C-alpha cells in the first residue's frame, strides 16, 4: 500500500518542478463544498481550480483523499483604480460554496475589491439540426425560412463550463477579508477592514452597510475588522472579530446599522503576560461558528479559543499553538512573520477542528516547526515525516496531496479546509491546515 501511495501520479498541472512555479501559482485559499465532493482552490494569479473527488477512491482506504482536476477558470484579472492610483491584485482572497440546488454548482470568489458569483455546470449534449443559420453560420433572412426544424440533442464529450452570473463591485473602499453566505441562501455579506456589507444575490448594484467602525478622524482608529461570519441557522445573526482580540455578535433585527453589538466576547488580559507584542499576537485572524451554532472558534497568532455564546467573559477552552515562539517574537517581528494570518475550522460533527500552521522543508525531510495541540480533541504532536525523494517536488508544489495522503486521515465529514504556500528567505515554508484528533482524557505529553 505504501508503494502505491508513493508512486501515485498527481495531475500533470501540479507536477511542475518548483523552480518553474511563479508567484501567480501560489495557492491563497482552499474550500470544500458542502458534500466534500469538490475542492476549490484560488491562487495569486486570480485563477480558481476545482478538484473533484475520485469516485473509485471512495472504497479504498488509502485513496480516499484523491481529487482530480474538474475545472479551471480565470476568476479575477488585475485592475487599476485610477481615482486612487492603486493597483488591485487579482489574488483570490476567499472562496465560498453555495448549497447545491440542482445539477449546477455555484460559488463566490473575491479579491480585494470585487466579489463574483460563478456557475459551474456540465454539458455532454449539443443541439443539432437548426435551420436558422446558413452554412457559414450567419442567420438566415426570416423571409426565406419556410419551415422550422426542431433541433436534436446529440451526445458530445463532457465539458465543464464556468460562467460568471453576478459581479458585485464598487462597494468596498478597503480590502475585503471575508465573505459569508447567509442561511437564507438569498443574501451574503462581505467584510473589509472597516465595514461589512450585506448583499442580495439578485442585486449587484446595491449593498446595505450593516457595520461601519470607521471613525470621523482616522487618527482615532484603534482597531480593524479581521473576519466575519453568519450564524449557520439564524439568518439575522452574525459575528465579526477585530484586531484587538474581541468578538462581537450582532442581530440585524435590532437595527439596520449594527453599531451596537448584542454580545461582546473578550478575555481579560493577564498583566503578567503583557509585552510589546501583546496587541499584535492577540489580533484574531479567523472566526468560525460551530455547525450547531452554539460555539465560536477563534484563532490568533499563538492560541485557539472556543467560546460559548452564553458566556462572554472568557472562552471555555484555550489551546496553545506555537507556544515556544513566545521567546522568539522579536525575531518574528523583524521579518514580519508575526503578522502572518492563520485559519481554523470545525469538522462536520463539531468534535474536531483544523488549524493552520507553518511547515518548513529541510533537506529530504519535512519537519513541523511547531507542536500542534488539539482543541475539542486528543492532544497530538505531529511527528517528523520522511519525504520520499521521488515525491519531494510534489510536497513543495502540491499541497493538496501532501494534506490528504501522508499525514491526514480520510477527509470524510470535513466541509472546509484551508492552505496556502508562502515563500520564505530560507527554504520553502508551507502554511498548511492540520487536523487535530479528539481528546477523550489525559493531558498532553511534556
Name the nearest CA neighbour of 18 among 446, 424, 334: 424
- Please indicate, yes or no, whether residues 230 and 336 belong to a single structural domain of this protein: yes
Residue linked to cell 461582546: 264
What does residue 382 show for φ and ψ, rounded to 5 degrees?
Answer: -70, 125
Question: For residue 222, how many C-alpha atoms fall within 13 Å in the half-sphere facing its CB?
Answer: 4
- Please indicate, yes or no, whether residues 87 and 236 belong to a single structural domain of this protein: no
pLDDT at position 262: 94
Give the span between the Cα atoms of 248 and 168, in whole angstroms.
26
- Please indicate, yes or no, whether residues 176 and 319 belong to a single structural domain of this protein: yes
pLDDT at position 59: 65
- Please indicate, yes or no, whether residues 350 and 293 belong to a single structural domain of this protein: yes
- Please indicate, yes or no, whether residues 29 and 85 belong to a single structural domain of this protein: yes
Residue 394 lies in a domain: no
Give the span between the Cα atoms of 192 and 395, in whole angstroms.
33
Give the span between the Cα atoms of 7 and 390, in whole angstroms.
8
Count of C-beta atoms within a 10 Å radius of residue 125? 11
Residue 130 lies in a domain: no
- Please indicate, yes or no, whether residues 162 and 210 belong to a single structural domain of this protein: no
Residue 90's H or E segment, with its range, is: none
- Please indicate, yes or no, whether residues 213 and 96 belong to a single structural domain of this protein: no
- Counting every residue written for the chain, the total comes to 446
- Residue 121's domain comprises 21-55+62-125+156-167
Give, for all 446 residues of the chain, the pLDDT tens digit. Answer: 443 443 344 344 444 444 456 888 888 999 989 888 899 999 999 999 999 988 766 666 655 667 889 999 999 999 988 888 889 999 999 999 999 989 999 999 999 999 999 999 988 887 776 667 766 767 777 777 777 777 777 787 788 999 999 999 999 999 999 999 999 999 999 999 999 999 999 999 999 999 999 999 999 999 999 999 999 999 999 999 999 999 999 999 998 899 889 999 999 888 877 888 889 999 999 999 998 999 999 999 989 999 999 999 999 999 888 788 888 889 888 888 888 888 888 877 767 666 666 543 333 323 233 223 233 333 233 333 333 333 322 222 223 323 322 333 333 333 333 433 233 333 333 333 333 333 333 333 33
Give the span between the Cα atoms of 392 and 397, in whole angstroms.
9
Query: Which runs of E-coded beta strand occur in 75-142?
Result: 79-81, 86-88, 94-97, 105-110, 115-128
- Please indicate, yes or no, whether residues 193 and 322 belong to a single structural domain of this protein: yes
pLDDT at position 323: 80
- Please indicate, yes or no, whether residues 323 and 185 belong to a single structural domain of this protein: yes
- Please indicate, yes or no, whether residues 281 and 188 belong to a single structural domain of this protein: yes
The domain boundary residue, chosen from 373, 395, 424: 373
- Please indicate, yes or no, whether residues 188 and 325 belong to a single structural domain of this protein: yes
pLDDT at position 124: 80
- Overall domain count for the chain: 2
- Please indicate, yes or no, whether residues 92 and 188 belong to a single structural domain of this protein: no
Amino acid at each position: 500500500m505504501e508503494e502505491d501511495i508513493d508512486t501515485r501520479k498527481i495531475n500533470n498541472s501540479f507536477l511542475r518542478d518548483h523552480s518553474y512555479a511563479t508567484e501567480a501559482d501560489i495557492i491563497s485559499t482552499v474550500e470544500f463544498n458542502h458534500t466534500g465532493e469538490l475542492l476549490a482552490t484560488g491562487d495569486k494569479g486570480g485563477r480558481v481550480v476545482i478538484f473533484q473527488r475520485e469516485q473509485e477512491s471512495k472504497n479504498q482506504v488509502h485513496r480516499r483523499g484523491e481529487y482530480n482536476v474538474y475545472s479551471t477558470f480565470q476568476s479575477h484579472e488585475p485592475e487599476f483604480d485610477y481615482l486612487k492610483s492603486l493597483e488591485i491584485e487579482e489574488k483570490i482572497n476567499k472562496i465560498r460554496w453555495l448549497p447545491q440546488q440542482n445539477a449546477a454548482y455555484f460559488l463566490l470568489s473575491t479579491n480585494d475589491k470585487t466579489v463574483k458569483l460563478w456557475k459551474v455546470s456540465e454539458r455532454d449534449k449539443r443541439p443539432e439540426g437548426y435551420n436558422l443559420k446558413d452554412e457559414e453560420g450567419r442567420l438566415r433572412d426570416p423571409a426565406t425560412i419556410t419551415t422550422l426544424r426542431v433541433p436534436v440533442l446529440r451526445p458530445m464529450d463532457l465539458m465543464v463550463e464556468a460562467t460568471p452570473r453576478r459581479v458585485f463591485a464598487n462597494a468596498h473602499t478597503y480590502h475585503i477579508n471575508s465573505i459569508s453566505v447567509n442561511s437564507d441562501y438569498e443574501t451574503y455579506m462581505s467584510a473589509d477592514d472597516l465595514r461589512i456589507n450585506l448583499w442580495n444575490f439578485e442585486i449587484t448594484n446595491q449593498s446595505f452597510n450593516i457595520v461601519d467602525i470607521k471613525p470621523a478622524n482616522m487618527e482615532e482608529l484603534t482597531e480593524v475588522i479581521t473576519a466575519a461570519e453568519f450564524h449557520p441557522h439564524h439568518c439575522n445573526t452574525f459575528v465579526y472579530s477585530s484586531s484587538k482580540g474581541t468578538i462581537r455578535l450582532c442581530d440585524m433585527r435590532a437595527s439596520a446599522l449594527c453599531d451596537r453589538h448584542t454580545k461582546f466576547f473578550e478575555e481579560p488580559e493577564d498583566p503578567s503576560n503583557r509585552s510589546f507584542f501583546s496587541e499584535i499576537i492577540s489580533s484574531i485572524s479567523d472566526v468560525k461558528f460551530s455547525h450547531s451554532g452554539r460555539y465560536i472558534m477563534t484563532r490568533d497568532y499563538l492560541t485557539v479559543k472556543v467560546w460559548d455564546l452564553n458566556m462572554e467573559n472568557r472562552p471555555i477552552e484555550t489551546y496553545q499553538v506555537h507556544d515556544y515562539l513566545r521567546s522568539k517574537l522579536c525575531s518574528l517581528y523583524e521579518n514580519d512573520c508575526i503578522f502572518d494570518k492563520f485559519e481554523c475550522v470545525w469538522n462536520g460533527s463539531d468534535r474536531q477542528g483544523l488549524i493552520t500552521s507553518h511547515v518548513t522543508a529541510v533537506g529530504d525531510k519535512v519537519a513541523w516547526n511547531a507542536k500542534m495541540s488539539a482543541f475539542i480533541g486528543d492532544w497530538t504532536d505531529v511527528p517528523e515525516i520522511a519525504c520520499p525523494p521521488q515525491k519531494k517536488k510534489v510536497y513543495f508544489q502540491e499541497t493538496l496531496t501532501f494534506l490528504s495522503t501522508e499525514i491526514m486521515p480520510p477527509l470524510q465529514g470535513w466541509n472546509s479546509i484551508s492552505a496556502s504556500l508562502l515563500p520564505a528567505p530560507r527554504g520553502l515554508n508551507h502554511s498548511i491546515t492540520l487536523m487535530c484528533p479528539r481528546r477523550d482524557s489525559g493531558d498532553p505529553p511534556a
